[in-house]
């Protein structure tokens, strides 16, 4: 006679069906849910062409600079110019999650492009130690949400050491934090936590919205003697943008604490960051048809103080 527990197990397995929709329905729903960043050379966040093996940009797009390419270019140029600059991150050498550090290990080797375990607290702690010792580490967390795992190392060590030593110790550390939603990831992979850290003395916060901003702010961040959190919205990585004439110059940087007025307006002012800058510009264009003049300001950084960056026109 079959035991009762075995009979129950067999029957439960027969009746159970996973409640997943068919793959076709999942793809259709996913395409409908996600928006597009509208800008020169941009594509939908989930444009299938971007995920095809060997997919190439169009002729028009090749004349523009990609957001992620601009960050990679800044890293490469700073590593060539300064031997103390090195990279640490999860899978950044062999399989970069978002492609920013692709092929850097071929030029600089595994000693300067270092894959690390998935232990954010240990990685940030090690980077703080390297910065104190005179190096300039650039850390990439695969998802910016997990900076919360390293709060102690960031706020009690990196942010405070310069103050605790009366300026005798500098912590030139950059932490790259892919952030933002819109890609169908879990909630713990889709946050933008920059507002947490703009209240921590000793930490600078950069928020690039275009390719030129990404390169200019990254170069400034690497050269800064203070820890910088560099937030990168994942929806922007595959977008492409025109760049200024001096973009390729060796001294091309964007100073912290200087905002960009993306659109002039007289009726309303919107301050937007990261990908929301482009959504705000699209809204301004739509409102212009209704007779409203909308000003759009991109602060670029939240620390140094935002108020100083926005000091214009009687603010």
- What amino acid positions are annotated as catalytic residues? 120, 189
- Which of 104, 90, 79, 89 lies closest to 222 in space, CA to CA? 79
3-state secondary structure of 309: helix
- Which of 289, 286, 290, 294 lies closest to 266 in space, CA to CA? 294
The residues that bridge with 233 in the sheet, in sequence order, are 179
CA distance 222 to 120: 20
DSSP β-ladder status, 204-206 and 301-303: antiparallel
CA distance 291 to 259: 26
CA distance 188 to 309: 31
CA distance 236 to 94: 22
Contacts (Cβ under 8 Å, ≥6 apart) of 285: none
């Amino acid at each position: 006679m079959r035991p009762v527990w075995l009979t129950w197990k067999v029957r439960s397995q027969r009746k159970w069906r996973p409640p997943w929709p068919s793959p076709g329905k999942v793809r259709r729903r996913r395409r409908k849910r996600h928006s597009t960043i509208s800008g020169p050379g941009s594509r939908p966040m989930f444009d299938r062409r971007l995920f095809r093996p060997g997919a190439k940009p169009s002729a028009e797009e090749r004349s523009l600079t990609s957001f992620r390419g601009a960050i990679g270019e800044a890293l490469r140029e700073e590593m060539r110019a300064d031997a103390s600059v090195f990279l640490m991150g999860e899978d950044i050498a062999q399989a970069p999650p978002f492609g920013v550090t692709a092929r850097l290990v071929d030029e600089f080797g595994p000693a300067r492009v270092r894959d690390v375990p998935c232990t954010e607290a240990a990685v940030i702690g090690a980077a703080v130690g390297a910065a104190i010792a005179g190096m300039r580490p650039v850390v990439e967390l695969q998802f910016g949400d997990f900076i919360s795992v390293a709060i102690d190392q960031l706020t009690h060590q990196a942010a405070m050491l310069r103050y605790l030593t009366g300026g005798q110790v500098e912590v030139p550390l950059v932490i790259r934090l892919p952030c933002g939603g819109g890609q169908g990831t879990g909630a713990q992979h889709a946050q933008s936590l920059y507002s947490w850290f703009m209240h921590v003395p000793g930490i600078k916060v950069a928020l690039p919205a275009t390719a030129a901003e990404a390169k200019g702010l990254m170069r400034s961040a690497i050269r800064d003697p203070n820890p910088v959190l560099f937030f990168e919205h994942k929806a922007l990585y595959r977008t492409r943008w025109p760049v200024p004439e001096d973009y390729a110059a060796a001294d091309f940087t964007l100073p912290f604490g200087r905002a960009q007025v993306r659109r002039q307006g007289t009726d309303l002012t919107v301050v937007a960051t990261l990908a929301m800058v482009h959504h705000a510009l699209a809204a301004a264009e739509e409102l212009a048809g209704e007779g409203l003049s909308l000003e759009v300001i991109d602060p670029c950084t939240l620390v140094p103080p935002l108020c100083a960056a926005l000091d214009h026109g009687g603010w």
